Chain A
Amino acid sequence: MATPSRKDSHGAGVYLPEANNALSPEETALEQVCQPEKIKCLQGSCLDQGSGKSHVPLALEEELVSASQLEEEELDPDLAPDMEEEEAEEEEENDLGDPAVQSAVHNSQVPRQEGVGLSRAVCVAQAVAPHLSSLHPSLERSSQLPWNHGPWCSGDAPCLLALSVADECLQSPCCEKKTGYREAVFGGSPFLTLHSALDLALGMQQSETLDHLAPLPFRPSLPSAGSAARHFGPQLPAPDPSLLCSPPTSWPLRLSLPSHLTQLHPQHQRILKQQQQQGRPRSPPAKKWPQQPDSYANLMTQKEKDWVVRVQMVQLQSENPRLDDYYYQEYYQKLEKKQADEELLGQRSRFESLKLVTPYIQKAEAYESVVRIEGSLGQVAVSTCFTPRRAIDAVPHGTQEQETAAASSQRLWVLYRIEKMFLQLLEIEDGQQDAPAQPRDSEQRSSRVEKLFQALKAQGQNNLEAADDGFLQALSVGKGKALVARLLPILPRDRAVSLLLAITRHLPFLVKRDVADQALQMLFQPLSKCIRHLTFRELLQGLQGLMRLPPGSSERPITMVLQNQFGISLLYALLSHGEQLVSLNSSLKEPSSDHSAWTDMVVLTAWEIAQMPTASLAEPLAFPSNLLPLFCHHVDKQLVQKLEARMEYVTVEIRS
């Protein structure tokens, strides 16, 4: 980067030559010659002007002035493309740049207008500023400075940024010399520092882009005599290379802009080619990144990117993230937990993994869609930014059209019901989690539970359906089964029992419907818990449903039930419970009708089981141990043997 020889010249007191180090060797000779001229020029132009002009552009201009002392034809094209390219990159009017650029090509000695130089300098600062801010992390702070920083910067934000950035540079401990320079040449120094920064970084790249960028600030406009106000007395400290070395990798990407692949004005292109043919020393293109320096990079500015991100963040806002974004929240919790564990175990390197935090952006308050003015007849047409014209409230207030009992709409309705019920269930469960035991809350909770239960049992759209239909429809859907499975534990006993009885009543129907899903299994656990609370009467009720011969069919429902895993498990669970109850109650009085009914049931069941070929008997999810003894009590030996054969087969399967 800065060649050692150049370092000496640094002592000359003016920073400018430093930046010129980036120039190709053949120009350095020229530099040497020009330097004294430059210095003179600078000092000469250091007139303290009035407050009229903004200092920044002035300072820039000075540099430009001094640089322009290097009246080297060869350098102009280098500069010009850069300028042009920089301008093209920003939204500066190109027409402004072009004449200047062209004139740079044609005649480097043409005294340029101040205005042009001004704009170009500003443009350069603008181009450079964002890069620097991204370069140094500490420099990012400067972006938060209030824009109206001072009178001297006419609200030019990028310039301001550049200034503050350079300020930081100067303030950083790496800066070798901190003189009163800062105050004195606040306008000028940052830019110079910027450029040295650029040069350094670029120099590290060993890329020819260096050549192009470096002379940039020094090219251009000759200000008129009355310009400039900065006193460049004290030396500009050279920024420490290490300071700017920090993110070297980002630089090539950022500063690859002024490359020889830029869209050039045809004349420039020609001149460049000539130059190339002259055999300027070229460093081999750094193959650091896969492609050649991308000339179209950063068409999308950082601001625009931030804007898109912001819009996306707003869309992600939610009042209840655990509800809306459950999986991410869970994942993040697990991650944090794991990190906490790691930290406990002594892993020093604990990194904070980022969490998606949506910014809280106040949503625009709802506007009044219809504006009523007193005394007016009807609505007045008011035009807002959201609705250019909204004369009438076109919101339908009527009830939903009577939907036909088409299967699809019916199904949709069921799904819709299930979703609503799930939300209610989640609310209840959340309440359970957060506040376990509070008397006030428990009332609220039980009322919620009751509401949910009613919703579950609710009718569909037509009230002609049977009593249990709503419930059964919900159970036909996999999600509905999950809902019931989660709901059962929190229901009060009688409610749960009623659900259980409904299920057993319609078991064949449910089994038939479940063939596709096979999801009834998830109901088994909660139901078996519920079964344990059944009274004998209720149990009988449940079982009787299975024994009933439905009209028009010779087959008992139990046959189908036995073929289904859930069905048979439920049946066994019921029988087992019944047996338990009976054995418990055997000492007490026996309601004979119940008891005989029970016996009938058992016998019938045994018979049915024996009837079934072993192969079609489903494997129960749980095989209660008291079943065989139960059958032994009530059934003859032969039958028991048959039963044993079947059941043993099953139990062996379970045990294995």
Chain B
Amino acid sequence: MNYMPGTASLIEDIDKKHLVLLRDGRTLIGFLRSIDQFANLVLHQTVERIHVGKKYGDIPRGIFVVRGENVVLLGEIDLEKESDTPLQQVSIEEI
């Protein structure tokens, strides 16, 4: 359902897995549950991903409410392609 043709909207992204980059440099991955007109986001089952070189570590965080102005960018994660990445997951302690 195209709500607003010719515009970009987060409505279609709801309930999908997203990667969100914040202004402070954090990378969050979670299911986008709710939005509002300021692009404040509610992320569910969020995981904070820390990258070091070719490795990354995930910290499970739970539910996030992100104020819209702090979002740099966000993009949908294709769940099938999520696993093919050259990066290697390691434990958080290691990171």
Contacts and interface: CB of A to CB of B under 8 A. Distances in A.
Interface string A279-317: 000000000001100101111100011001101110110
Interface stretch (A187-195, A223-231, A353-361, A564-572): A353-361
A304 B6 contact: no
A608 B87 CA distance: 66
Contacts of B66: none
A300 B14 contact: yes
Contact of A354 (B6, B15, B42, B79): B6
B91 interface: no
A356 B33 contact: no
Contacts of A298: 15
B74 to A, nearest CB: 16
A331 B6 CA distance: 10
B69 interface: no
B31 A355 contact: no
B5 interface: yes
Nearest to B82: A290
A354 B36 contact: no
B44 to A, nearest CB: 6
Nearest to B80: A290
- Which size class do A's interface residues fall under? 20 to 34
B18 to A, nearest CB: 13
A300 B5 contact: no
A423 B44 CA distance: 46
A355 B5 contact: yes
Contacts of A332: 6
Nearest to B33: A299
Interface string A623-637: 000000000000000
A205 to B, nearest CB: 18
B6 A305 contact: no
A316 B15 CA distance: 26
Given A354-B6, A356-B4, A311 B37 contact: yes
Interface in B1-56: 2-7, 9, 11, 14-15, 17, 31, 33-37, 42, 44
Contact of A297 (B6, B15, B17, B80): B15
Given A300-B33, A353-B5, A305 B11 contact: yes
Nearest to A287: B80
Contacts of B36: 308
Nearest to A325: B6
Smallest CB-CB A-B distances: 5 pairs: A354-B5, A290-B79, A311-B37, A356-B6, A300-B34
Interface of B: 2-7, 9, 11, 14-15, 17, 31, 33-37, 42, 44, 78-80
